[in-house]
Amino acid sequence: MATLARSEVLAPDRAARARPRIPPGVGVLPGTLLIVLALLGPLALMLRYSFNRFVPGELMVEGLTLANYAKFLHDSFYRDVLLTTLWVAALSTLICLVLGFPVAYALVRQVGPRWKSKLLILIILPLLMGNAVRTAAWMVILGDKGLLAALLSGVGLTPPRLMYTPTAVVIGLVSVTLPFMIVTLQSVLERIDPVLEEAAESLGAGHLTILRRVVLPLALPGLLAGTMLCFILSMNAYATPVLIGGPQFHMMAPEVYQQVAKAMNWPFGAALAFVLMSVTLVLTTTANVLVQRRYRRWSE
C-alpha cells in the first residue's frame, strides 16, 4: 500500500479552511432590512409624531405632549369608536369560533382527505377576492334591493334594513375572517389522534362529551391562535366598516385614515394608530399567557 505524502493528507483541510462558510442565516438580512426601514422605522416615526402638537393650518408642530392621547381619552366620540371596534371585533371573532369549529371538525373527521383539500381551497379562494370586491358583493346581497331583500319579500316577509348597520359590518367581517379560523383549526385538529376519541367513546362518552373533555382541551393552542388571528384582523379592518358601515359607523382603522389623510392631523392620527395597536397587543398577549399557562403543563 502506498503511503500518502504529507501534503496530500493536509491538502483537503487546507482547501476547506480556505473557503469561508457563509452561514445560511445571512439570508434574512435583506428582508429584515426592508422591514426595519419600511415598517419599523416609519412606525417609530409615527410614534414620535403622536407626541407632537397639531395646529390647524400648520399640519404639525414639534413638541412633546400627551395632548393627543388625552384627547382620545377625554373625547367620548373616540372612546366610543374604540368600544365599537372592540365589540364588533369580539362578536365577529366569537361567531367565527362557533361556526369555524364544527366546520374544521367536519373537514378533519367526517370528510375524506381528498374532499378536504378541495373544500379548503374553496374556503380560501373567496378570501383573495380583495376587500373591495367582497364588500361590493355584500352590498348587493344586503342592500335594500339586494338578494336577501328579494328573497325575504318573495316569501312574504318584510326585509330588515341591513345595509349601513353594525350587523352588516359583523357579517362582512365574519365573511373575511372565518376562513382564517377554519384553516387554523383544521390544522390543529388534524394532529389530534382520532384513536383518543375512539377511546373516550369506548368508555361511554357521547359526542359532545368527547368534544368537551378530549378534543377541545387538546385543540386549545389552535383555538387560541385562530381566535387571536380573527380578532386582530377584525380590529384592524378598514374596507368593510367603511363601505358597509356607512358614514355613521366608526371604527378605529377608518378613523386613522380620516385623521392622517383627510384632516391632516398627523399627531392625533398617529395616537389613534398606537392606541389601536396597543389595545390589540395587550388583549392578545393576555389571552396568550392565560392559555399557555393551562396548556403548558402537559404539552412539553
Partner 1 sequence: MSTTVALRSLIKRYGSFTAVDDIFLDVPEGQLVALLGPSGCGKTTTLRMIGGFVEADAGSILIGGRDVTRLPPAKRNIGFGFQSYALFPHMSIAQNVAFGLEMRRLPRAEIASRVARALDRVRLSAMADRLPKQLSGGQQQRVSLARALVIEPSVLLLDEPLSNLDAQLRGEMKLEIRQIQKAMGITTIFVTHDQDEALSIADRIVVMRAGRIEQDGSPEAVFGAPRSRFVAEFMGVTNLLPGTVEGPGTFRLADGNAIRVPVAGAGRGAMVLAIRPERVRITPSGADTAPDTLDAEIEAATYRGLSVEYRLRTPSGLCLTARRATPATGGPAMLEPGARVHVAVPPDACHFVPVEF
Partner 2 sequence: MSRAGIRWTYGTILGAVLAFIVLPLVVIVWVSFFANRILAFPASGYTLDWYARALDTDAFRDGFVTSVETALFATAASLALGVPASLGLVRGRFPGRDAVQALLLAPMVVPGIVGGAALFIAFIEVEALLDIQVAGTLGGLLVAHTLIALPWTVRLVSASLASADRAIEEAAASLGAAPLTVLRRVTLPAIRPAIVAAALFSFVISFIDLEKSIFLVGPGRTTLQIALVNYLEWNLDGTVAAVAAVQILIVGTALLVSDRYARLVQAF
**Contact between 113 and partner 2 per CB under 8 A:** no
Is 5 one of the binding residues for partner 2 (CB under 8 A)?
Answer: no
Candidates 9, 27, 66, 285; binder of partner 2 (CB under 8 A) is 27
Q: Residue 145 or 207: which CB sits closer to partner 1? A: 207
Residue number, 120 or 214, with CB nearest to partner 1: 214
Q: Least distance to partner 2 from the beta carbon of 7, Å?
A: 20
Span of 30-38, 62-70, 72-80, 213-221 interacting with partner 2 by CB under 8 A: 30-38
Sign of the C-alpha dihedral, residues 125, 134, 273, 166?
negative
Span of 69-77, 192-200, 216-224, 247-255 interacting with partner 2 by CB under 8 A? 247-255
Can you tell me which of 162, 200, 230, 256 binds partner 2, judged by CB under 8 A? 256
Q: Binding to partner 2 (CB under 8 A): which residues in 202-221?
A: 206-207
Judged by beta carbon, residue 24 or residue 57, the one nearer partner 2 is: 24
138 binds partner 2 (CB under 8 A): yes
* HEC profile of the chain: CCCCCHHHHHHHHHHHHHCCCCCHHHHHHHHHHHHHHHHHHHHHHHHHHCCCECCCCCCCECCCCCHHHHHHHHCHHHHHHHHHHHHHHHHHHHHHHHHHHHHHHHHHHHCCHHHHHHHHHHHHHHHHHCHHHHHHHHHHHHCCCCHHHHHHHHHCCCCCCCCCCHHHHHHHHHHHHHHHHHHHHHHHHHCCCHHHHHHHHHCCCCHHHHHHHHHHHHHHHHHHHHHHHHHHHHHCCCHHHHHHHCCCCCCHHHHHHHHHHHCCCHHHHHHHHHHHHHHHHHHHHHHHHHHHHHHHHHHC
Query: Which one of partner 1, partner 2, none interacts with residue 198, CB within 5 to 8 A by kind?
Result: partner 1
Binding residues for partner 1 (CB under 8 A): 193, 195-196, 198-206, 209, 213-214, 217-218, 298
Is 69 a binding residue for partner 2 by CB under 8 A? The answer is: no
Q: In terms of CB distance, is 58 or 193 closer to partner 1?
A: 193
Which does residue 9 bind out of partner 2, partner 1, none, counting CB within 5 to 8 angstroms by kind?
Answer: none
- Under the binding rule (CB under 8 A), the answer on residue 157 touching partner 2 is no
